[in-house]
Structure 1
Amino acid sequence: MFPTPLEKTSRSWQISYQVLLPIALIIWLLPLIAVANFSIKPESDFVNGNYWGLPGSFEALNNYGKVFFESNMPRYLWNSLWITIPTVIGAVALSCMAGFALGIYKFKSNLPIFFMFIAGNFVPFQILMVPVRDMTVSLNLYDTNLGLVLFHIAFQTGFCTLFMRNFIRALPFPLIEAARVEGISEWRIFLYVVLPLMKPALAALSVLIFTFIWNDYFWAVVLTQGPDAQPVTAGITEFNSQFRAAYHLMSAGSIVAALPPVLMFFLMQKHFIAGLTLGAVK
């Protein structure tokens, strides 16, 4: 039923695995390798059709210097931080409280409310484009960081609540009963009993939501325009013009835009894996 451990397979299969794994890894990383290669090429390589060969000259410092000092990339990165960090804090905080209420308290509308949170995750977000844009315009939130933050919090809270509610229900309920017997209020139970036990889940969820929001392109284009509020994913298109596309600068900007979520994952890797695997083994 379960895959046989590699150590117990035949020697020929072990050798095949060791040979095929690096090949599969290279194929999987090939798009990223291509973008990194493009980011150090001069513009003349693209004009001459040298897409996949060695760079005619190494222009890494020149390309990345233009990205940082001759474009609005620092502004776009700042906008992404101002959008992503408040969204992560808001969505995780709301989902912790909603998950606590749905996971601990028993009331008649518990399951319907929980199913409503789940149902929101299955709504195709493309069909919300026009009404959400019209609503942000009517509320004077169009092309603002606050508009994107509020929308992302509302849209991500459903998934976060599903995650947190299931995690809280797996916690030992006698701890909460013991705290109630001691006369501790519900808010203090949440803050001092439940919340400390949720640290692995908080870390895992924060990394996931940070990656989702930072890499969002669709809503960044729909709800913003221009460097005043656009995040970095939409701002990279600044290197395109009507008659010319600066692929070398777009590639350098893409590498810069990809670094924060990668760093976030490696910094939180231990907690992220612990949060995803917690409860897998009783």
Structure 2
Amino acid sequence: MFPTPVQKAPAWVRHAYTIILPIALIVWLLPLIGVAITSIRPSGDLAAGNYFGMPSRFAGFENYTAVFRDSPIGWYILNSFKVTIPTVIGAVGLACLSGFALAVYKFRANLIVFFLFVAGNFIPFQILMVPVRDMTLKAGLYDSISGLVLFHVAFQTGFCTLFMRNFIKSLPFALIESARVEGVSEWRIFRYIVLPLMRPAIAALSVLVFTFIWNDYFWATVLVQGQHAMPVTAGLYSLNGQWIAAWHLVSAGSIVAAMPPVLMFFLMQKHFIAGLTLGATKG
């Protein structure tokens, strides 16, 4: 039913695996390597057509300095934090409550409500562009950080609820039954019994949602126009000139913009892996 582990495969499969894996990894990393090299390339190389060769000289310091000097990238990064952090708190917080309700309580419409949460994840978000934009205009939330936050919370809560509901389902139900026998209220059961057990899942889900929202470009351009609320993914376009595309500066800005989610993943790596693998084995 499951693939044979590489360690138990024939010798020729293991040798092919050791050869193909580094090649596949390099191919997968080629775009990132290209962006990193372009970020330290002088503008003269791009004007001369040197797109893929080695840089004629190291221009990393001046490129990264120009990113902060010639664009409000610091303000864009602050806007991204203003959008991402409330979204993570709101989506994960709502998912903990809704996941607990769908996993613990048995009511007639349980599966219907759960399927509604799941169904939202299968809707192509591009078709929501016009109705969401019109809704934010009517509600006075267009071109604002609060509008982006509310939309992301609404859109991410479905996936987060699916994640949390399945995680809570794997917890031993005897703990909840024992607390009920002792007369503990449902809120205290959630607060003092279930929530501490959900910490690995909360950490893993927070990293995922943080990465999703931080890297969002589509809704950042659809729902925001002014620099006062523009996240860094959309703000990187300001690094291009009116007539010339400054790809060396865009690449440097992209590396700067990618650092917060990368740092968060490495800081939360232990909890992230624990949250994804908890309950994966029996015993």
Smaller-chain TM-score bracket: over 0.9
CA distance in 2, matches of 1:137, 1:7: 58
Deviations 1:170-226 (A, max 9, x none): 111111111111111111110000000111111111111001000000000000013
2:77 pairs with 1:77: yes
* Superposed displacement of residue 66, structure 1: 0.9
Of 31-40 and 121-130, more deviation after overlay is shown by 121-130
CA distance in 2, matches of 1:2, 1:130: 44
The residue type equivalent to 1:99 in the other structure is G
For 1:119, the equivalent position in structure 2 comes to: 119
2:218 pairs with 1:198: no
For 1:5, the equivalent position in structure 2 comes to: 5
2:120 pairs with 1:159: no
For 1:230, the equivalent position in structure 2 comes to: 230
Distance change in 2, residues 1:225/1:203 (3 Å): same
Distance change in 2, residues 1:199/1:140 (3 Å): same
2:44 pairs with 1:39: no
CA distance in 1, matches of 2:115, 2:3: 34
The residue type equivalent to 1:72 in the other structure is P
User: Residue 230 of structure 1 aligns to a residue in which SS?
Assistant: coil
Distance change in 2, residues 1:8/1:108 (3 Å): closer
Give the TM-score, by structure 2 length. Answer: 0.96
CA distance in 1, matches of 2:17, 2:172: 42
CA distance in 1, matches of 2:138, 2:162: 31
2:210 pairs with 1:210: yes
Deviations 1:136-188 (A, max 9, x none): 11222111111100000000001111111111111111111111111111111
CA distance in 1, matches of 2:109, 2:275: 29
Distance change in 2, residues 1:14/1:112 (3 Å): closer
User: Do 2:67 and 2:239's aligned partners in 1 also have CA atoms closer than 8 Å?
Assistant: no
Distance change in 2, residues 1:55/1:117 (3 Å): same
User: Residue 122 of structure 2 aligns to a residue in which SS?
Assistant: coil
CA distance in 1, matches of 2:14, 2:69: 50
Of 243-252 and 64-73, more deviation after overlay is shown by 64-73
2:110 pairs with 1:110: yes
Give the TM-score, by structure 1 length. Answer: 0.96
CA distance in 2, matches of 1:74, 1:145: 16
CA distance in 2, matches of 1:236, 1:274: 34
The residue type equivalent to 2:270 in the other structure is K
CA distance in 2, matches of 1:227, 1:6: 51
* Superposed displacement of residue 16, structure 1: 3.0
RMSD, aligned CA: 1.3
CA distance in 2, matches of 1:118, 1:155: 11
User: Do 2:204 and 2:275's aligned partners in 1 also have CA atoms closer than 8 Å?
Assistant: yes
- How many residues align? The count is 282
The residue type equivalent to 2:178 in the other structure is A
* Superposed displacement of residue 135, structure 1: 1.2
For 2:272, the equivalent position in structure 1 comes to: 272
* Superposed displacement of residue 109, structure 1: 1.4
Deviations 1:52-83 (A, max 9, x none): 11112211010000112221100000000010
* Superposed displacement of residue 12, structure 1: 4.1
For 2:147, the equivalent position in structure 1 comes to: 147
What's the % identity of the aligned pairs? 68
CA distance in 1, matches of 2:12, 2:220: 50
For 1:180, the equivalent position in structure 2 comes to: 180
For 1:251, the equivalent position in structure 2 comes to: 251
Distance change in 2, residues 1:174/1:145 (3 Å): same
In structure 2, list runs of 5 or more residues that go unmatched: none
Distance change in 2, residues 1:3/1:166 (3 Å): closer
CA distance in 1, matches of 2:123, 2:88: 21
CA distance in 1, matches of 2:176, 2:248: 57
For 1:67, the equivalent position in structure 2 comes to: 67
